Amino acid sequence: MSIAVARTPLSGRVPALLRRLRNEEDPAALIPSILAALAQTKNAERALLVEARGEDLRVPWSATIEGDAVIEAARRAPADLLRAARPHAAEEMCAGAAGLPAEIAREFQALDKRGAVLVRLGGQGELGTWLYLENRFCELAAGQDIDSAWALDIELLRLCLWIMRLRGELAQERDQRTKAEALVARMNMPGAGVPVPAAVQDGPRRKGGYARIVTCSPRMHAIFAVLDKIAHTAAPVLIMGESGTGKELVAMAIHENSPRAGKPFIPENCAALTETLLESELFGYKRGAFTGANADRKGLFEMADGGTLFLDEVGEMSLNMQKKLLRVLQENVIRPVGGKDLVPVDARIISATNRDLVLEVQEGQFREDLYYRLNVITIDLPPLRERLEDVPLLVRHFLEELARKHGAPKRVAPEALEFLGSYHWPGNVRELHNEIQRVYALAGETIEARDLSVKIRNRDQAARGFTMADLELLPLKQAVESFEREFLRRALARFSGSRSRIAQTLGVPKTSLYQKLQKYGLMGTA
């Protein structure tokens, strides 16, 4: 068996190729006739066009020397040859039969005489489009005149493929633009529902609690795929993400799509209670355990028995409380405050934090053994600024909620929607929700760009950050975090990104500074 390598660079033949294409509106319809012409030129039994996408090989077009399509059984042999020969490919061409697996080499060497040619038409590495011609009974034809006609047909074939690819890209762009225009139009239709892409509507990703997560982001789709896999297990889950990214919604989605869906889902914000109150809240207490304990009370662990306990802001727990939580996770028993007996519990633990617990462990602020108990499965939620394609969906969702509550549907002007979609949203979805509530209360039937906050309308300011006056519009915790982020951003600019100088000037350990920079997405900022 011999494999000849054909390489025909583009020359001055384009006018002739264009004349042949002029009367053919669809280049795909011309490909079979080109393949038949190539087969006739080289005296090949058959010519096939093979598309390689990793290990997936398919033959979309083929032709025999008589111009008929190649039967399916005959298409498998070149696919096997190509699969074996590609690892030995040069940058553009597959060269030589040496190194082919023995079983494939034997298959083709069983014939006394055989000719084959393999030409890369486009693509690189394991991807690309290949032309394959063969004659099982004699060598392929060669000669100067033959090679000249062969080169012309090869260029015509490449041109057809290029036009088809270009048309496909243009069609995709038109489709995306049409969807975007339709989205804006639906945003401005009173009473219209939230437009949700088909990929999100179909399949298990929209079941149960997933339906509460308004998104069309590919990153969120990838998270849904992970949730599908872990929902049926009882493994602890740690949800990482900035404040306002929807960590509780994800925890609810895990619960509602698990076998525990019929049991309670109990959330608790660990940052909202003191250590003493948190202990009695989680583990319960006995009558007389402390002043005001007039009767026995079950804790959240008992209330969540058979279901899910969601511990939000778990990084805010004191070390002493962490020790007690670790014992529960290890032994699946609790001791109510003021009690002597151990009570068995069966609650799946889903925790969440906006802190970098690895740095907390290094600084001695979080127990390493507890970290590994909680961090069996990690879900890392992206901030809203990294999935701005979700902003129009979220805006419509919030407006529909407000319209149902107050009975007054409102629309969003395209310019206002553009401002909302280009703002960096340091407070994430929660900040967007607050902004929509504010403009809903202040604007008329249509929300115009002038109704938005100054920080959102000012594109330069949106890129830089925000003014301190904007903090009064945020809840206290979110305002503090927004101030920290802006303060650190300006410090990075002032000291040209030098972490050491910033830590020295601010009087904080480097590890604490790194934790803050990572929390606010500033690690790559200079």
Q: What is the pLDDT of residues 305-330, one digit of tens each?
A: 999 999 999 988 999 999 999 999 98
Residue 496 is assigned to a structural domain of this protein: yes
pLDDT band for position 402 (cuts 50, 70, 90): very high
Structure tokens at 248: 């509780």
pLDDT band for position 217 (50/70/90)?
confident
313 φ/ψ sector (left φ>0, alpha ψ -120 to 50, else beta): left
Numbers of helices and strands, H then E, in the chain = 21, 16
CA distances (Å), 225 to each of 218, 235, 240, 471, in order? Answer: 11, 16, 17, 36
Same domain membership, residue 360 and residue 268: yes
Task: Say yes or no to pLDDT of 483 above 60.
Answer: yes
Q: What is the mean pLDDT of residues 486-501?
A: 75
Please give the average per-residue pLDDT across 225-252, as a whole number: 89
**pLDDT value of position 463:** 46
pTM attached to this predicted model: 0.53
| Structural domain includes residue 68 | yes
Spell out the residues 6+ positions from residue 294 whose beta carbon is closer than 8 angstroms to its own: 287
Q: Which of 380, 395, 415 is the last residue of a domain?
A: 380
Nearest residue to 316 via CA among 268, 280, 381, 254 = 268
Q: Which of 375, 379, 355, 356 is nearest to 219 (CA)?
A: 379
400 Rama class: left (phi>0) / alpha (psi -120 to 50) / beta: alpha
* Amino acid residing at 149: A
Looking at residues 228-250, what average pLDDT do you find? Answer: 89
In a domain, 125, yes or no: yes
- Residue partners of 118: CB distance under 8 A and separation at least 6: 3, 5, 81, 82, 85, 93, 94, 130, 131, 132
Summary mean pLDDT of the chain: 75
Measured in whole angstroms, the distance separating CA 360 from the mean position of its chain's CA atoms is 28
Helix, strand and coil percent figures for the chain, each rounded to 5: 50, 15, 35
Domain end position, chosen among 351, 380, 409: 380
DSSP one-letter string for 375-430? TTEEEEPPPGGG-GGGHHHHHHHHHHHHHHHHS---EE-HHHHHHHHHS--TTHHH
Q: What is the pLDDT of residue 12?
A: 45
Asked if 321 and 381 touch (Cβ cutoff 8 Å), the reply is: no
In this prediction, residue 457 carries a pLDDT of 82
Confidence of residue 174 (pLDDT cuts 50, 70, 90): low
Are 158 and 256 contained in the same domain?
A: no
Q: Which amino acid is at 240?
A: M
Whether 487 and 376 map to the same domain: the answer is no
Task: Classify residue 52: in a domain, yes or no.
Answer: yes
Whether 240 and 159 share a structural domain: no
Tens-digit pLDDT profile for residues 410-461: 999 988 998 898 888 888 999 999 999 999 998 888 999 889 988 888 754 4
The yes-or-no verdict on residue 98 having pLDDT over 90 is: no
CB within 8 A of 42, min separation 6: which ones?
Answer: 117, 133, 135, 140, 141, 146, 150
Say whether both 137 and 242 belong to one domain.
Answer: no
The tally of domains found in the chain comes to: 3
Q: What is the pLDDT of residues 53-86, one digit of tens each?
A: 656 677 888 888 887 877 665 555 555 555 555 5
Q: Residue 263 belongs to a domain with what CATH number?
A: 3.40.50.300
Of 167, 100, 356, 352, whose CA–CA distance to 251 is shortest?
352
15 with 97, same domain: the answer is yes
DSSP secondary structure string for all residues of 130-194: EEEEEESSSPPP--HHHHHHHHHHHHHHHHHHHHHHHHHHHHHHHHHHHHHHHHHHHHTSTTPPP
In a domain? residue 467: no
Q: CA–CA separation, 186 vs 194, rounded Å?
A: 8
Between 209 and 283, where is the model more confident? 283
| Same domain as 254, residue 125 | no
Do 142 and 238 belong together in one domain? no
The pLDDT value given to residue 499: 77
Distance (Å, whole) CA 250 – CA 219: 14
Inter-residue contact 424 to 453 (CB < 8 Å): no
153 vs 416, higher pLDDT: 416
Structure tokens of 339? Answer: 């009690």
Over range 502-513, report the average pLDDT.
80
The tokens for 278 are 């948190």
What pLDDT, on a 0 to 100 scale, did the predictor assign at position 472? 57
Residue 29 falls inside a structural domain: yes
**Is residue 433 domain-resident?**
no
Full residue range of the structural domain in which residue 491 is found: 478-526
Q: Where residue 486 falls among pLDDT bands split at 50, 70, 90?
A: confident
Asked if the structure places residue 492 within a domain, the reply is yes
**Cα gap 279→282, rounded to integer Å:** 5
Q: Which of 93, 62, 99 is nearest to 77 (CA)?
A: 62
- Cβ atoms of residues 260 and 306 within 8 Å: yes
Task: Say yes or no to pLDDT of 391 above 80.
Answer: yes
Express as a percent the part of the chain with pLDDT over 90: 18
Structure confidence at residue 114 (pLDDT): 53
CATH code: domain of residue 515: 1.10.10
User: Following CA atoms 378, 381, 386, 388 in sequence, which dihedral angle do they give, to the nearest 10 degrees?
Assistant: 150
Which of 162, 2, 1, 4 has the alpha carbon at shortest distance from 94? 4
**Mean pLDDT computed over 486-494:** 77
Query: If you average pLDDT over residues 366-387, what whole number do you get?
Result: 90
Which span out of 125-129, 329-333, 486-490 was modeled with the highest average pLDDT?
329-333
CB 439 within 8 A of CB 452: yes
Dist CA 67 CA 280 (whole Å)? 83
Distance from C-alpha of 415 to C-alpha of 468, rounded to nearest angstrom: 25
Question: Looking at the structure, do residues 376 and 482 belong to the same domain, yes or no?
Answer: no
> Which of 60-64, 321-325, 352-356, 520-524 has the lowest average pLDDT?
520-524
Whether 350 shows a pLDDT value over 70: the answer reads: yes
- Percent of the chain whose pLDDT exceeds 70: 70
Clarify whether residues 163 and 235 are in a common domain. Answer: no
Q: Which residue has the tokens 């600024």?
A: 385
Cβ neighbors of 234 (< 8 A, separation 6 or more) are 260, 348
Residue 23 has pLDDT above 90, yes or no: no
Q: How far apart are CA 508 and CA 524, in angstroms?
A: 20
Residue type, 257: N
Of 355, 380, 405, the one marking the end of a domain is: 380
pLDDT top residue among 58 and 47: 47
pLDDT at 251 over 70: yes
- Give the pLDDT confidence score for residue 182 in this predicted structure: 58
